[in-house]
């Protein structure tokens, strides 16, 4: 009869085993307790990883909310910038008009001054011409 055939009797297997029945029970209990300890350790590790995963997901949600808030602030700042740019352009146009007006007035004053000088000069030349004649 083959030791590994299905018809093998368990009592025959014990006959070839060097350990006694109580030693085998102790050995099995030892390995069962080792496996239970390993399973508990794996369960604790799985729980730690689950908590870390939950924290990571929560942090991810918070970061997404922060990104949305920053995008809103960015759009608000862009709108404010556009308004300030428009106001600045209006002020520049107003200043350019004032400078143009000042330049026109200054040019007009200079022209009037030049005309007055020419008239005085022509008048002096006319008087000199009349005195010579």
101 pLDDT above the threshold of 70: yes
Maximum distance among all Cα pairs of the chain, rounded to whole angstroms: 167
* Cβ atoms of residues 9 and 15 within 8 Å: no
39 in a structural domain: yes
Q: Is residue 112 part of a domain?
A: yes
In a domain, 64, yes or no: yes
Task: Tell me, yes or no, whether 115 lies in a domain.
Answer: yes
pLDDT value at residue 2: 47
Residue 5 lies in a domain: no
In a domain, 2, yes or no: no
DSSP letters for 102-115: HHHHHHHHHHHHHH
pLDDT, tens only, 8-34: 455 555 555 666 778 878 888 899 999
In a domain, 85, yes or no: yes
Reported confidence tier of residue 85, pLDDT bands at 50, 70, 90:
very high
Domain encompassing residue 112: 20-132
Does the structure show a pLDDT above 90 at 71? yes
Instruction: Report yes or no on 6 lying in a domain.
Output: no
Backbone angles phi, psi at 18, to 5 degrees: -75, -20
> What is the number of structural domains in the chain?
1
Mean pLDDT, range 106-121, rounded to an integer: 77
């Amino acid at each position: 009869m083959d030791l590994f055939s299905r018809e093998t009797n368990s009592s025959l297997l014990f006959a070839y085993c060097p350990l006694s029945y109580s030693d085998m029970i102790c050995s099995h209990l030892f390995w069962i307790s080792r496996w239970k300890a390993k399973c508990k350790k794996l369960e604790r590790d799985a729980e730690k990883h689950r908590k870390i995963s939950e924290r990571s997901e929560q942090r991810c949600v918070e970061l997404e909310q922060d990104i949305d808030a920053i995008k809103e602030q960015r759009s608000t700042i862009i709108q404010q910038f556009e308004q300030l740019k428009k106001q600045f352009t209006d002020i520049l146009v107003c200043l350019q008009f004032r400078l143009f007006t000042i330049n026109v007035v200054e040019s007009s004053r200079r022209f009037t001054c030049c005309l007055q000088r020419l008239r005085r000069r022509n008048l002096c030349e006319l008087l000199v011409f009349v005195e010579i004649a």
